[in-house]
Amino acid sequence: MKAFRKLEEATAGLALGAMVLLPLLEIPLRKLGTGIPAAISVERHLTLWVAFLGAALAARDGRLLSLATGQLLPEGKIRTAGGRLASAVAAAVCALFFRAGIDLVLEERLAGTMITQMIPVWVAQVVMPIAFALIGLRLVWRSADSWKGRSVAILGVVLGLLLAQFPGILEAKPSWPGVLLVLTATLLGGPIFAALGGIAALLFMADGVPPVAVLIETYSLSVNPTLAAIPLFTLVGFFLAEGKASSRLLNLFRAFVGWVPGGTAVVCAFVCAFFTVFTGGSGVTILALGALLFQVLREDRYNERFSLGLLTASGSLGLLLPPALPLILYGIVASVPIEDLFIGGIIPGILLVSLVAGWGVREGMKSGVERRPFDRREASRALWEAKWELLLPILVLFVIFRGIATLVEAAALAALYAFVVQCFVHRDVSLGSDLARVFHQCLVLVGGVLLILGMAMGFSSYMVDAMIPGRALEWVQSHIDSRIVFLLCLNLFLLLVGAVMDIFSATVVIVPLIVPLGAAFGIHPIHLGIIFVANLELGYLTPPVGLNLFLASYRFDRPLLDLYRAAVPFLLILGVGVLLITYIPFLTTGLLAAFGR
């Protein structure tokens, strides 16, 4: 068993390492006029392997992404029963897609499609049924401490296999009982991928379409030529988090703005925003930096409630600043230029960070927190120590906008840069256990996220087949005439979405619905994207189930109600910022016009 664990981790790590090296080799070779044959296709399928092997590792570690609502159940028999039902439904979904994955591989083998002259596509797709089998078995194992307790999850596996073998049994039957069961299991703590994939499969089978249709869409998203940038930028974020980059940036910002009222609070907002740019709305910022920054705030005698609220809110700051992962994913799903989203998000991103920092200034003035006098020597020393981290986003944007590298190649270059700086320049990350931990943490997070995205793509495909976007457009146009009213309704809708869904799955599911609506009301497509991400960023703070609230409760060991009260002022402040972004398009389009986009 131990040997298998090592083999699994090594295989996933090699796939992620190859994802970094391949684009790096492609940059100089392309300049020489040769390039690597089928490099883009190979990179796409490496993303597929990283996604599914990472998801299997996440299941092994018990870190598949789920709603935190299951933790609201009282401890004891009720929570135990709810957890077993959630595991059983998720295991059933895994069994269903394990069988569907085998069908996909067999069909692709007959088709004979090739990645390169020597590697057929079906060889890459084999990872899908293997991963679903591993995830399902691990869900069964973790569902209880005894085989008697695991019997419920085992029944779920049997049910999933039967449905996969006889999908026609649900044809022309009402799908709502199964959908209701899956939703209930999700609220009880079931993984999000099982909710999206399970509902999509049930709806497809009710229409006479086999569940393999979901995996076809999952595969098509996984091999999107731009998607590889997400795991690569995530790797950058984990290199920064594992090293002492947070301390260097903290010292830098304290040296330059510590003299203003609330300087430490301002510093925390800036540092969190910097990290979230590379880690996305994944909670890594709160989990990795929360303890350090909370201690710094308390040492400077900031109010505890304010400190909790500031760090909870700052955990999702930076999602609008380039090269933030949600902007990349939005560009993929909405088919809009990602570089334009990067430009369009700069001013709105700075606005939201500034609003939070401004509230920190107010708190500093109100509480009379001691300021740090500006010291030119200290500032110069801190700037010199943090120079490598500060150069990272500049390097990424330079190579992208100068046309030196594609987005994926820029992400690989950033990963190499972070690796060299943290391992060899600062030597904060060792080449042994630290490096292995960085890769493992990245794979677990990326696997959990990309599996959700793949399942969400299947759900979106069903909605398109059912013509739901067109029906939604007709309904909105028949009930809403005003562009302003539409934008307000969109704000409220997206706020609710952000409160119950992570930003990645929400992007894949919701964006196909709102893009035609935005076009109908004459909203600039880049402005619509920035509105979407800004609202989802706000949703992380929205009670009762905003993700940042649960993560902060876990990280700071405080009751959820305390976090609700602490987050309310920041929720209102950022809400004002979102309204400004929504109703003043120039904040988004001004720089685009200046750059001639």
Does pLDDT of 282 surpass 60?
no
Does pLDDT of 361 surpass 70?
yes
pLDDT at position 414 is 93
Task: Write the pLDDT tens digit of every residue in 145-161.
Answer: 888 889 999 999 999 99
**Cα-trace Rg, the chain:** 24
Does pLDDT of 547 surpass 80?
no
Mean pLDDT over each residue of the chain, to the nearest integer = 87
Confidence tier at 52 by pLDDT (50, 70, 90): very high
Residue 237 is encoded by which pair of tokens?
């974020």
> From the DSSP assignment, how many helices (H) and strands (E) are in the chain?
28, 0
Helix (H, G, I), strand (E, B) or coil at 38: coil
Does pLDDT of 69 surpass 80?
no
Say how far apart CA 472 and CA 594 lie, in whole Å. 35
Does pLDDT of 560 surpass 90?
no
Residue 298 is encoded by which pair of tokens?
């308390």
Average pLDDT value for residue range 492-500: 83
- Which one has a higher pLDDT value, 32 or 589? 589
Does pLDDT of 372 surpass 80?
no
- Which one has a higher pLDDT value, 196 or 365? 196
**Residue 145 amino acid letter:** D
Taking a C-beta distance cutoff of 8 angstroms, is the pair 361, 260 a contact? yes
pLDDT at position 68 is 66
Task: Write the pLDDT tens digit of every residue in 387-446.
Answer: 999 899 889 889 888 888 888 999 999 999 999 999 999 999 888 888 999 999 899 988
pLDDT at position 109 is 92
Q: How many Cβ atoms are within 10 Å of 469's Cβ, its own excluded? A: 17
Kindly report the CA angle at 553 between 235 and 533, in degrees rounded to 5? Answer: 50
Task: Write the pLDDT tens digit of every residue in 294-351.
Answer: 888 888 888 888 888 888 888 888 889 988 888 998 999 899 999 999 999 999 999 9
Does pLDDT of 568 surpass 80?
yes
Does pLDDT of 283 surpass 70?
no
Does pLDDT of 121 surpass 60?
yes
Please state, in angstroms and as integers, the Cα–Cα distance from residue 369 to each residue in 17, 258, 298, 311, 379, following that order. 47, 11, 11, 18, 21
Confidence tier at 59 by pLDDT (50, 70, 90): very high
Average pLDDT value for residue range 254-270: 84
pLDDT at position 20 is 93
Confidence tier at 70 by pLDDT (50, 70, 90): low
pLDDT at position 585 is 93
Among 36-40, 226-230, 275-279, name the one with the lowest average pLDDT.
36-40
Say how far apart CA 567 and CA 406 lie, in whole Å. 39
Percent of the chain residues past pLDDT 90, beyond the cut: 39
Confidence tier at 212 by pLDDT (50, 70, 90): very high
